[in-house]
Structure 1
Amino acid sequence: MERDAGYNIYEKLASKYGMSLDQAKTNCQNMERMAQEIGLDFRFDTQILTNTFDAHRLVMFAKEHGKIHEMTDRLLRAYYTEGKHIGNHESLETLAEEVGLDRGSVATMLASNEFGNIVRQDEKEAERYGIRSIPFFLVNQKYAITGAQSTDVFVQSLEQIIEQDGLFVEQTGASCDDQGCELPEK
C-alpha cells in the first residue's frame, strides 16, 4: 500500500472481500460497537489508510529503547481513534516523542533503512503462518482465531482448543514477555 492511499477503509474492505460499501460500513460499525463494549474507541470513519511499514520500524526502534508497549499503544490509538496519519514521518516523530523517545533519533532512524530487515522478516514469518489480517491469534502453533470476534466466539474457540489439546501443552510455541513475542520456526 502506498503512503497516501486515496481511499477509505470501507472502500478497501469492499474491494478486498467483495462486499458492498454498505456491508463494509456495517461491519466496521459492528467492530466499533464490540470495541466500545470493552472500553476501546474505534473510529473507522476518520481512519487514514496508509503504508504502516515505517510505523512498524518505529516499534522496533522503541523496543530497543524499552518502550515497545508504550509506542504500540500510542500508534494504535493514533490510528484507530484519533485519525492520525501513521505513515507520515512527522506524525511518527511526534508520537514517538509523546512516549519519551528522542525525536531527533527517531527522525534519523526513519530517514534510514534501519529496522527494515526486521520488519521484512516479521512479514515473511506472518506469511509462513498464513496471517493476512489482524487481529490474528495463533494458539499451540496450529489453531488460528482471526478477525474481530466477540468474546463468546473467542471463549468458544479456546474451549475447543482445550478440549482437543488439553489445558496444558508443552511450551514449544511463542513466548511473550515485555520485549514482545517470539514465534518458533514453522
Structure 2
Amino acid sequence: MGKRRLEDALQKMDYPVEVTYRSFELDPTMERDVPYNIYEKLAQKYGMSIEQAKSNCKNMEQMAKKAGLDFRFDSQILTNTFDAHRLVMFAKTKGLMHEMTERILKAYYSESKHIGNYNTLTELAKEVGLDPKEVTDMLANGDLSEEVRADEQTAQEYGIRSIPFFLVNKKYAITGAQPTETFVQSLQQIIDQDGPFTKGNEGIFCDDDGCELPPKG
C-alpha cells in the first residue's frame, strides 16, 4: 500500500522516476509451509485476540481498497519470502523487476497464491515474460541469495525494522503507508530544503530505501 501511494504521489508531482525494489524480510525465520493463518500470526506476535487481529486486517483491507488494491487476508497463504526476493533479483537482470514485483504482490495479497512454492514462482515468472527453465534452475541452485542478503544487511545498517521505509536524499525518512498527500508534502518540503529536481532526463530516483534527488546543476 505504501508503494502504491508513493507512486500516486510521484505522478501528481509529475517527475520522471526510476524504481528499484530492495529485499527485506519481516520474518526471515518463517517456514515455507506455514500451519497457521495471518490472524493467528498477528495475535501471537502482538499479544492480541484473534478477533482483534481480524478487525485490524479488515481495516487494512478497506484502506487498500481506497488505494485501488484488493487485499484478501481470509485466504492469504503465509510463507517464507526469501525465494520470492531471489526471483525479483533475477527479474532485475532481465529488465523486468517492476513487473515481477507487481505480479508477486498481487499473487500474495489478492490471489492467495503460495509465493514460497517454486512451481508458483515459476508460473508467475512466465506470466511476466521470464524463461521458466532459467527461473527453475535459478531457484534450484540458490542463485542470487548473496544479493538478497546484501540488501538485508544494508537495511540493518540503516536501522530499518519495518516496511515500508523510504529514505529520501539519504537523510530524510518517511515510514509507513502514509497518505498520498503526505508523500507529496514531504517530498515538496525536501525539494524546498535541498533544491529543485534536475530538469531533463535525470529525474528523481526512488526505491524501497527511499528517493534520492539528482545532483544540482
TM-score range, shorter chain: 0.7 to 0.9
Separation in 1, partners of 2:183, 2:50: 27
Residue among 92, 100, 105 paired with 1:63: 92
Contact 2:32 2:80 in 1 (8 A): yes
Q: How many residues align?
A: 178
The residue that corresponds to 1:115 in the other structure is 144
Deviates more, 1:30-39 or 1:8-17: 8-17
Separation in 1, partners of 2:184, 2:37: 32
Against the structure 1 CA distance between its residues 168 and 6, is the aligned structure 2 distance closer, same or farther, given a 3 Å change threshold? farther
Against the structure 1 CA distance between its residues 117 and 102, is the aligned structure 2 distance closer, same or farther, given a 3 Å change threshold? same
Contact 1:137 1:145 in 2 (8 A): yes
Task: Check if 1:166 corresponds to 2:193.
Answer: yes
Q: What amino acid maps onto 1:162 in structure 2?
A: Q
Local SS of the residue matching 1:111: helix
Local SS of the residue matching 1:3: coil
Against the structure 1 CA distance between its residues 12 and 72, is the aligned structure 2 distance closer, same or farther, given a 3 Å change threshold? same
Separation in 2, partners of 1:27, 1:143: 29
Task: Check if 1:100 corresponds to 2:126.
Answer: no
Against the structure 1 CA distance between its residues 27 and 143, is the aligned structure 2 distance closer, same or farther, given a 3 Å change threshold? farther
Separation in 1, partners of 2:176, 2:209: 19
Contact 1:10 1:25 in 2 (8 A): yes
Deviations 1:122-154 (A, max 9, x none): 111111222222222223334433333444655
- Alignment TM-score, normalising by the size of structure 1: 0.82
Residue among 125, 130, 145 paired with 2:174: 145
Task: Check if 1:125 corresponds to 2:172.
Answer: no
Residue among 36, 41, 44 paired with 2:73: 44
**CA-atom RMSD, angstroms?**
2.9
Task: Check if 1:11 corresponds to 2:40.
Answer: yes
Separation in 2, partners of 1:169, 1:8: 46
Q: 1:113: how far off?
A: 1.7
Q: 1:25: how far off?
A: 1.7
Q: Which runs of 5+ in 2 are unaligned?
A: 1-29, 199-203, 213-217
Against the structure 1 CA distance between its residues 14 and 137, is the aligned structure 2 distance closer, same or farther, given a 3 Å change threshold? farther
Q: What amino acid maps onto 2:62 in structure 1?
A: R
Q: 1:8: how far off?
A: 1.4
Deviates more, 1:33-42 or 1:10-19: 10-19
Contact 1:175 1:181 in 2 (8 A): no
Runs of 4+ in 1 over 6 A off after TM superposition: 180-184
Against the structure 1 CA distance between its residues 24 and 155, is the aligned structure 2 distance closer, same or farther, given a 3 Å change threshold? farther
Deviations 1:93-141 (A, max 9, x none): 0000011111111000000121000000011111122222222222333
Separation in 2, partners of 1:9, 1:61: 28
Separation in 1, partners of 2:86, 2:53: 30
Identical-residue share of aligned pairs (%) = 63
Q: Which runs of 5+ in 1 are unaligned?
A: none
Q: 1:31: how far off?
A: 1.4
Local SS of the residue matching 2:141: coil
